[in-house]
Amino acid sequence: MGVGRTDGKVLFVPHTAPGDTVEVDVVSEKRGFAEGRIRKVIIPSSLRQHSSCVYVERCGGCHWQHIRYEEQVDWKERIFLETLKRIGGIDDIVIEPCIASPSPLGYRTRAQFHVKSGTWGFFEAGSNDIVEIEECPVLHPVLNKAFQALRDFIETEYRRCAIHTVEIGLSEVDRKAVALIHSSEEMVLGRGGMVGKIPCIKGVRIRRSSSRRDRAWKETYSEGDTGLAYILQGLNMRVDIAMFSQINTVQNSRLVEAAIAFCNPTRGDYVTDLFCGGGNITLPLSMRCKEVTGIDVDRLTIEKAGFNAERNTIRNVRFIRANLFKGLKSIDIGKPPTILLDPPRGGGMGVLKEVASLKPGRIVYVSCNPSTLGRDISILKRYGYNAGRARIIDMFPQTYHIEGIVELLYSGGRQQSRCSG
């Protein structure tokens, strides 16, 4: 959000841009700050642009469509560096240029839609109300087409069903979509189902659950091919629609390349990839070094990682299923010279002490949350690690989300300074 001041108090206002002169209604007062809503833009900032989305004022998906893309990239770099300094306590770090997205729109290859009483769309900003949409400019065209076709089919054929969430992903290799439907009631499709009647969709799975995050879900139906296939660094990759995967496949390839460059592997190196998921970085990395070990807690992702290794005839990688937050002591990983950390948004605080106890010469930390990244870096500094270089990859244009990579080098407990960036 944009930041201003009123009556000596900090005021946060969404959909503003640095340099705007605006008339604002204060909508909430907190002890140390207030939040507002634009009533009128009096003098627009030079950073502003016209948004191509008719839903942007209500929809909670995009936050920065009103700002020119090159300015979005510049501000993400500023925010990333400021966060590392403020939370991570890093004064000297080499910041490499941001890898901007070649497609600020139409890049998203996965999306989650919410459904209620025949209304299909995204949550409104700050609420659970649904903003009904027809199409989204951030989504890949195939996803927009699949969303419209699936919605129309279900509303016609299964109008009384209790669907609450629909996830749709693009299988890039065959340019078709896969849907994962969450319903609070039993929902079994009749003969022929959806795949034969919706040409742009190749697979459908249905789960009975009270919410998308309900762990007690029950799968009630599956039809067609529910895998998402894509090419990554020359590898034929496949993930399941129910698995986590990056939503920007073009930038994902660049992220993997940057992470590997930060690892700086040689043919004789051993690398351990913690929170490896389906092997997104593990498998391309294995082609540059002697052996890679990938560890993750989710059974499905570990199985799929092994499957992708086999289908690409990769022999110098092993995958282990383990809960990293319960410790590394029971896992035989030796003392790898390089450890790659790619934890969820909450960060890797539960595993940092044990990682540091292995004393790898280099830790490469991939993060989608600069705040927890900064916190974890401040912890690793206590164990003798100093930030060498950092870079952000803009995975999520039009939003404030930042994906970053930081290289941490072991200094034997001595704080040493790098050149400033």
- Please name the helix (run of DSSP H) or strand (run of DSSP E) that holds residue 311, with its range, or none: helix 299-311
Those residues whose C-beta lies under 8 Å from the C-beta of residue 118, and which sit 6 or more positions away, are: 155, 159
Is residue 174 within 8 A of residue 157, CB to CB? The reply is: no
Is residue 245 within 8 A of residue 304, CB to CB? The reply is: no
- Please name the helix (run of DSSP H) or strand (run of DSSP E) that holds residue 240, with its range, or none: strand 235-240
22's tokens: 């605006």
Those residues whose C-beta lies under 8 Å from the C-beta of residue 188, and which sit 6 or more positions away, are: 206, 220, 221
Rounded distance between C-alpha atoms, residue 284 and residue 264, angstroms: 13
Is residue 271 within 8 A of residue 336, CB to CB? The reply is: yes
Nearest alpha carbon to residue 120 among 89, 97, 99, 146? 146
Cite the beta strand spans of 44-185 per DSSP E: 94-95, 110-116, 119-123, 130-132, 163-171, 176-183
The structure tokens 């560890």 sit at: 295
- In single-letter form, the type of residue at position 203 comes to G
Rounded distance between C-alpha atoms, residue 168 and residue 203, angstroms: 10
Separate counts of helices (H) and strands (E) for the chain: 7, 21
Is residue 315 within 8 A of residue 339, CB to CB? The reply is: no
- Maximum CA pair distance of the chain? 68
Rounded distance between C-alpha atoms, residue 114 and residue 165, angstroms: 5
379: how many CB neighbours lie within 10 A of its CB? 16
Is residue 41 within 8 A of residue 22, CB to CB? The reply is: yes
161 among known catalytic residues: no
Is residue 325 within 8 A of residue 351, CB to CB? The reply is: yes
Handedness of CA 295, 300, 301, 303 (dihedral sign): positive
Of the residues 62, 98, 200, 368, which is catalytic? 368
Rounded distance between C-alpha atoms, residue 398 and residue 137, angstroms: 10
Residues marked as catalytic: 368
